[in-house]
A and B are shown apart, each in its own frame.
Chain A
Amino acid sequence: MSTNCRRRLIRDFKRLSGDPPGGISGSPCPDNIMLWNAVIFGPGDTPFEDGTFKLMLTFDESYPNKPPTVKFLSRMFHPNVYANGELCLDILQNRWSPTYDVAAILTSIQSLLHDPNPNSPANAEAAQLYRENMKEYVRRVKLTVEESWLDPEEKAALGEEQGSA
C-alpha cells in the first residue's frame, strides 16, 4: 500500500538523508512511516549550542496538504515552545505550504532556536526573560542543553527531583 502521502514521505526521507542540512537528522519509525523521529543540534553561537534536541513528527494522509504535528521530546526553554513540547511556528499552522518537506520543517525549527519570536510567546516566562533578562534566559536554556544529553530514564529522574524540590 503506497498512497500519495506515503510516497511523498519516502521522498522526504530520501532528500533528508541524501542532502542533509547541517546538524539535522530524521527518519521514520521502522514500523510506522507516519511517525518520525528527529534530532536537531542547537545552532552554534546561540545558547542552544551543542544541545541535542529530540523531536517527534506525526503525519496523516492529508500530508502534504496539511502540516504534520511536531513536538519536542526534549525539554525546551524557548519563547515559542509550549511546556508540552509543541511549537508555536507559523509554517506549521497558517503559513503551511504543501511544498514544505521534513527537511524544510526541521531547518525552520533550527532557525527558530536561532531567532525566537517573543511576540507570539508559547512560554511566557522564556519570552519575558528573552526580552528583559538575557543572562537568566541563557542560563535557563543551558540547563535544557545539558539535560538534552541525558538518557530518558535519567531525565525522568531529574524531572522528579525538580518536581519534588
Chain B
Amino acid sequence: MPFGVSASDDTKPANDFLLADVPDPTDFLPAAEAPGLRSIDGAFRCTICGELFDGPVTLPCGHCFCSGCIRPAMSHKQECPICRKVANEGHLRPNPIVEEIINGWKDARPYILSLVKQEARRKVADQPEVHASPAKKRKRSQERSSSELGSVPGLPHTPIKPRSFKKMSHSPSKPNPVKYPSDGGAGPSRIPTSDGDEEDLPSTLGLNPKSDDLVKCPLCEKRVRYKNLNGHMDRSCKDPVPVSSSSQWSKIMAPKGNARGKQKKKSSETDEDFPLPKASYATLKDKQLKEMLQEHDLPITGDRPQWEQRHQRWVMMYNANLDRSLANRKTKNELRRDVKKWEEEMSRKKKPVVEDLVKYQQTHKPEFDRLLKLAKSTRDKSALEPNAAPSSSDDNHKPVSTDASLVGPPSSMTGVDDVIDLNSDKE
C-alpha cells in the first residue's frame, strides 16, 4: 500500500515505468496486517536483482543468489555481496530445494494475493468504522501522512481501505510473466495427449497385467513389457535401439537445420552438464578467441574487447543455466538471445548528465517539494516513536538548536539574519 500512496502522489502520467509489472514484497500487506507474507516473499528473492530466485546457488557462508546474478558480481569482487566473506565461482552450489520452493511459490503467490484481497474486502465490509485496532496503526499513520501532503489529487475519491487493495491488484494474475516464456512447464512430454491412449491405458491396467506381458505404451503406442513400461516412459520412449536405427534417432535428436550441432551431438551429449572453463583472455590470440566464439555459434562482430566481454558473459550465463533444474533450463538459443540483449543494454550504458544544476533544481522544484514533505513526514513519524530521540522540533522552519552547548544562540541567530539580509538585498 505505501507504494500505492507514493505512486499516486506522482500524478504525472510520465511515470509509466512505475506501472510496469514488477512484483515485489510490498505487494503484500505489512506484517501487522498479513503476518509473514511480506517477509516470505522477500526471503524468496535474490538480493541482487530482486526477482524470485532463478537457478539459486548457495555460497559457503550460506547466502543464496541467482546464479546469473552472483557470477557477474563475482567478476567484480570475489566475495559474498551480503557478508563479504571471500568466495569465488568455484564455491557456488546449486540449491535445488530452494528452486523447488520458488516453483511452488510462483503458483501460490497470485493465489495468496487474491485470498488476501478477498479477506481484506470481507473485513472492510464487516467492520467499516473500526479504526482503533492496533493492527491498523501503521497503515493509518501512513494515510495521515499522505493526506497531510495535501498534494494527492486523484486519490481522495476512493475510500481509505479499499484504495490500498486496489493498488495491489496490479500484481500479476500469472505467476511468472517474465521468465521462461517458452518453457511449457515441467515434463509435459510425458502426459498422454490423445484420447485413445488415455482410454487404452486404464483398460490395460484393469486387467492386472503380469510383469512380462506386452502392453501398449500410452505415449508411443509401442508394445513394451509391462515391467519395463515405467522405465520406457521415463526415457521418453527412447529405449536402447539396435544399431541399424541409430542414424534415425540422431536425426530426431539433432536440432533442426544445424549441421554443426548434428556432428557434435554425440560428444556434447555427455558434456552438456559440465560448466565451461573460464578463459584467461590476455593469453589468447585474436584467432583463438574468434574460434572460441564460433565454437558456441556466437557472432564475431565488434572489436576485441567486445569479443572478450561476449565470451565471458556467455560462459557465465551458460554455467548459470546449469545451476537451474533441467525443467527450468533455457536452450542455448535462448542463452544466445540473452547475451545479445545484454550487449545491447550495455551499449546504451551511459549515466544521464545534468549540466546546469541550478536550472535542474528549478525545473524539478515540484518534485523536490514533494520529496521534502515525504521526508518530513517519515522523520516526524520516527520522532514520535518512543525509542527515537524526542528532541525533534515540531516546526521545521524554526530549528531548535540542540547543540546549544556547542554553539551559542547568538551565532546561529546571526546566521539567520545574514541570510535574510542577503535575501532582502536581492529583492
Cβ contact of B351, chosen from A4, A6, A41, A60, cutoff 8 A: A60
Contact of B422 among A37, A138, A158 (CB under 8 A): A158
A31 at interface, CB cutoff 8 A: yes
Cβ of B379 under 8 Å from chain A: yes
Contact B388 A22 (CB under 8 A): yes
Stretch at the interface among B224-232, B266-274, B325-333, B397-405: B397-405
Q: Report which residue of A26, A47, A152 has the largest number of chain B beta carbons within 10 angstroms of its beta carbon.
A: A152
> Which A residues touch B367, using CB under 8 A?
27, 29-30, 37
Check if A3 sits within 8 Å of B3, measured CB to CB: no
Shortest Cβ distance from residue A33 to the other chain B in the assembled complex, whole angstroms:
5
Q: Which residues of chain A (49-99) have a CB below 8 Å from chain B? A: 49-50, 52, 54, 56, 58-62, 64-66, 68-69, 73, 85, 97-99
Q: B352 and A58: CB pair below 8 A?
A: yes
A138-B354 Cα distance, complex, nearest whole Å: 31
Q: Spot the interface stretch: B98-106, B116-124, B125-133, B355-363.
A: B355-363
> In which size bucket is the chain A interface?
35 or more
Q: Give a binary string over B50-90; 1 marks a CB under 8 Å from any A CB, 0 the rest.
A: 11000000000000000001001100110001101000000
| Complex Cα gap A54–B77 (Å) | 31
The answer to whether B365 touches A143, judged by C-beta atoms less than 8 angstroms apart, is no
Say yes or no: A139 contacts B349, CB within 8 Å. no
| Contact of A39 with B351 in the complex, beta carbons under 8 Å | no
**Residue among B406, B407, B416 with the most chain A CB within 10 A?**
B407
Partner of B361, one of A19, A31, A54, A146: A54
Bound state CA distance, A2 and B341, in angstroms? Answer: 11
Q: State in angstroms the CA–CA spacing of A69 and B352 once bound together.
A: 10
B243 at the binding interface (Cβ < 8 Å): no
Q: Which of A24, A25, A64 has the most CB of B within 10 A?
A: A25
Q: Are B376 and A41 in contact (CB under 8 A)?
A: yes
A132 located at the interface, meaning its Cβ lies under 8 Å from any Cβ of chain B in the complex: no
Which one of B9-17, B196-204, B244-252, B289-297 is at the A interface?
A: B9-17
- Asked whether A153 is an interface residue with its Cβ less than 8 Å from the other chain, the reply is yes
Instruction: Report whether A4 and B407 are in contact in the complex, using a CB–CB cutoff of 8 Å.
Output: no
The segment from B19-27, B207-215, B298-306 found at the interface with A is B19-27
Number of A-B contacts (CB under 8 A): 217
CB of B47 within 8 A of CB of A49, answer no
How long is the Cα–Cα vector from A62 to B349 in the complex, in angstroms? 7
Interface residues of A in 2-51 (CB under 8 A from B): 2-8, 10-11, 13-15, 17-35, 37-41, 44-47, 49-50
Q: 19 new A-B pairs (CB below 8 Å) besides A33-B17, A37-B367?
A: A18-B2, A19-B26, A21-B378, A22-B381, A23-B379, A37-B371, A39-B375, A45-B402, A49-B401, A50-B393, A50-B396, A60-B349, A98-B48, A98-B69, A146-B415, A150-B423, A154-B423, A158-B422, A161-B425
Provide 10 A-B residue pairs closer than 8 Å at the C-beta atoms, listed in order of the A residue.
A8-B49, A18-B2, A23-B382, A27-B10, A28-B17, A49-B403, A58-B354, A59-B351, A60-B351, A85-B357
Q: Which residues of chain A have a CB within 8 Å of any CB of chain B?
A: 2-8, 10-11, 13-15, 17-35, 37-41, 44-47, 49-50, 52, 54, 56, 58-62, 64-66, 68-69, 73, 85, 97-99, 134-135, 138-139, 142-143, 145-147, 149-158, 161
A-B pairs, top 9 by smallest CB distance, nearest first, are A22-B382, A23-B379, A17-B6, A18-B26, A25-B374, A152-B361, A50-B399, A25-B375, A30-B14
**What residues of chain B have their CB less than 8 Å away from a CB belonging to chain A?**
1-3, 5-7, 10, 12, 14-15, 17-18, 20, 22, 24-26, 47-51, 69, 72-73, 76-77, 81-82, 84, 345-346, 348-354, 357-358, 360-362, 364-365, 367-368, 371-372, 374-376, 378-379, 381-383, 388-389, 391-393, 396-397, 399, 401-403, 406-407, 411-412, 415-416, 418-419, 422-423, 425-426
